[in-house]
């Protein structure tokens, strides 16, 4: 495929930056939050609802609603 691979990687990186405005490190941390939340709920630890609330609050503040209010999408995902 020759140079097409290089163009593909460049284009993919640009699309990721546009559609996913978070760094991969923050996305990995967010995935860890998801795993912890599911494990807690499976174990019947319903007090973990606060974890979910914070998680959704971060999404609310950093995605579309936060951007409309002058927030930054690069701060933290959920």
Q: Is residue 29 part of a domain?
A: yes
Q: Is residue 49 part of a domain?
A: yes
* pLDDT tens readout for residues 32-54: 888 888 888 888 887 777 778 88
pTM of the model: 0.46
Domain count, the chain: 1
To the nearest whole percent, how much of the chain has pLDDT over 70?
Answer: 81
Task: Identify whether the C-beta of residue 77 lies closer than 8 Å to the C-beta of residue 57.
Answer: no
Q: Say how many C-beta atoms besides its own lie within 10 A of residue 31's C-beta.
A: 11
Q: Is residue 51 part of a domain?
A: yes
The token pair at 37 is: 């939340």
The whole domain housing 33 covers 22-78
CA 6 centroid distance within chain: 26
The token pair at 67 is: 């951007």
DSSP 43: T
Distance, in Å, from the CA atom of 65 to the CA atom of 71, rounded to the nearest integer, reads 8
């Amino acid at each position: 495929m020759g140079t097409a691979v290089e163009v593909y990687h460049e284009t993919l990186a640009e699309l990721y930056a546009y559609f996913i405005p978070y760094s991969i490190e923050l996305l990995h941390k967010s995935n860890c939050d998801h795993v912890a939340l599911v494990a807690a709920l499976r174990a019947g630890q319903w007090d973990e609802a606060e974890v979910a609330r914070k998680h959704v609050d971060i999404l609310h503040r950093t995605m579309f609603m936060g951007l409309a209010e002058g927030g930054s999408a690069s701060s933290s995902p959920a």
